[in-house]
Amino acid sequence: MCDFYRPMPYTEQQIRGLAINFLRFHYKLRPRYLGSDGTRITDRPHYYQGVLIDARLAYQRPDRSYFTATVEATSLDRQHEILYQTNYWRIGVHALVWTLVTAALITWLGSWVPEWNLFRLFGLPTAYLVLASLLVALFLAISTGLSRLKRYRYIYAVDQFKRFYADAQWVAYDTAIFAADSWRTRRRYRELERQCVKYGFGLLAVEADKVVRNVMSPSQVDQFAGSRIKLPRWLARAEVVTTPPPTQTALQPVRRARPQVLRKLGRRAVLLRARGRRAYRSLFPSGMRRRPGYYTLGAWVLVLGVPALVGLGWGVYRQAAYSPVAEEGGRGAGPDLAMLETGRTPAPPLEIEEGEYRRRDDSFTLTELSINVPEGGLIAEADIADTDSLRRYRLDADGVATVDYACLPLYTLGEPVFILLFGRYASFGAAREWALELNRLYQSPVTVAAGDCVEAPGTTDYLLYIDGPTREEGAANLMARQFQRRSGLEVEIVEIR
């Protein structure tokens, strides 16, 4: 029984009529031009340059300018027009632009700082997966942050008013829309009030028994500083009822009509123009006509987004060109590459000094070495009691010889050692002759050792190496370069484990 007598909600047409009737009394005492026809009202929807105006009131002021007030009416069945919704389209585009800007800065930083280079840290193809994950994480984080901002809350009625200028703009709504006592309803109402205060729009609440309450009056100052389109004068005068001119009794000359061909061409041009307009509008989403301003993006999106996309691609290309080898002109190539020779500009060969020879140029046999062997060493071969039991024969830089009949094999040490091997010989005598020659010519300390004192057991050769063993590979390289620079002979660095 109670449901039967429950009052029906207002229709949108009723809300328009009640709002216009309220505004007629609201502006009744405003000064007007004496020669005007009073207040002119329109309580039916009409379009102007793509903008839907639900109702309009206008009168002529004493300076003959027109005062125009517009109304956006919202009933219960069309409550979505004043309830805000999050503009996910704008959030997605703006988040994409800021993601590209942030990613471009990160990739450019990685291209200049090797410690931040993704391709150096992760390698291929993991670097591309990390970059894609970084873009997705940035997009989600920025989108979440932007969705918390109130500037991305879209209200259809408010956005309609933001597209054109009128002296007063009112939003009229049925109070049944916000009748529910819930936090969601209160939050939506506060957002409607906030946007009306921010942009200077008025609020009219249509309550039960056809009572219209003025919640908020519109601002007298244009909050948009004249950037919106203005309604023309003819739109304010559109509802003037004009008196038809008196009928003329005198005969008027018959005016010649336009040819039928021209009339057909004119109608065909109008038809083609309408079809072209419909085809152009079909290229855009249908929601653009239902939600004006929802898909509007600022020019900064292209101004900032396109260079950011190009910068991101260039930064990824620079990072992908990373090489662990130092290059001339690169960041790590400054201090040490200037002294190195290149394949195109090799360093000039060193001149042969007196008493030196080039091993690759001179050819001789083992029997010819006797001409360079000194008449007698400090320890002659005849003075060595048992050459078969000899394990190590060493000459220092001054030519002092040391003979060992027992040795600690190098391969038994706990860590690897390096030697500068000059050659392998089948007999101790041949190895000793080379050792005496190298020591005499270059004052280099040399060592002749049995094979089982250096390498694994079972080696019967005698090894001739420069100086003694060392545990540092860098020290072995330095000794090899010094010997090659001093003698021009080649040696082999052998690691003994």
pLDDT at 307: 92
Confidence of residue 294 (pLDDT cuts 50, 70, 90): confident
pLDDT at 456: 72
pTM of the model: 0.54
The helix (H) or strand (E) run that includes residue 446 is strand 446-450
The helix (H) or strand (E) run that includes residue 467 is strand 462-470
Asked if the peptide bond before residue 125 counts as cis, ω within 30 degrees of 0, the response is yes
Closest CA to 167 of 194, 124, 200, 193: 200
Q: How many residues does the chain have?
A: 497
pLDDT of 361 higher than 90:
no
Q: In what order do the strands lie in the sheet with 417-425?
A: 401-404, 392-395, 446-450, 462-470, 417-425, 492-496
Between 192 and 474, the higher pLDDT residue: 192
Q: Give bridge partners of residue 229 from the DSSP assignment.
A: 164
Enumerate the domain spans of the chain. Answer: 12-84+155-236, 366-496
* CB contact set of 307 (below 8 Å; sequence gap of 6+): none
Rounded Cα distance between 401 and 431, Å, is 14
Q: Taking all residues of the chain, what is their mean pLDDT, rounded to a whole number?
A: 79
pLDDT tens profile 372-386:
444 444 445 555 555
Q: Kindly report the number of other CB atoms within 10 A of residue 193's CB atom.
A: 13
Query: What's the whole-number mean pLDDT along residues 138-164?
Result: 90
Q: Give bridge partners of residue 450 from the DSSP assignment.
A: 462
pLDDT at 472: 86
Closest CA to 87 of 236, 335, 311, 298: 298
pLDDT at 492: 85
- Percent of the chain scoring above 70 in pLDDT: 78
pLDDT at 366: 43
Rounded Cα distance between 437 and 3, Å, is 124
pLDDT at 245: 53
pLDDT at 143: 94
pLDDT of 327 higher than 60:
no
- Which of these ranges, 33-47, 63-77, 207-221, has the smallest mean pLDDT? 33-47
Q: Is 396 exposed, middle or buried (0-12, 13-18, 19+ CB in 10 A)?
A: middle
- Which of these ranges, 120-124, 346-350, 396-400, has the smallest mean pLDDT? 346-350
Instruction: Please say whether the dihedral angle defined by the alpha carbons of residues 383, 388, 390 and 395, taken in this order, is positive or negative.
Output: positive
Closest CA to 217 of 69, 85, 6: 69
Structure tokens at 459: 């080696």
The single-letter code of the amino acid at 374 is P
pLDDT of 412 higher than 70:
yes
Crossing angle of helices 428-442 and 473-487, rounded to 10°? 70
The helix (H) or strand (E) run that includes residue 333 is none
pLDDT of 240 higher than 60:
no
Between 308 and 4, the higher pLDDT residue: 308
pLDDT at 99: 94
Closest CA to 396 of 428, 359, 444, 453: 444
Rounded Cα distance between 489 and 496, Å, is 22
For 174, the 3-state DSSP assignment is strand
Structure tokens at 297: 């993006």
pLDDT tens profile 55-112:
889 888 888 888 989 999 998 888 888 899 888 989 999 999 999 999 999 888 888 8
Q: Please state, in angstroms and as integers, the Cα–Cα distance from residue 218 to each residue in 30, 203, 364, 382, 450, following that order.
A: 16, 8, 112, 124, 108
* CB contact set of 219 (below 8 Å; sequence gap of 6+): 200, 201
pLDDT at 100: 93
Q: Kindly report the number of other CB atoms within 10 A of residue 4's CB atom.
A: 5
- Which of these ranges, 155-159, 164-168, 252-256, 467-471, has the smallest mean pLDDT? 252-256
Rounded Cα distance between 126 and 338, Å, is 35
Torsion angle defined by CA atoms of residues 14, 19, 23 and 25, in that order, rounded to the nearest 10 degrees: 60
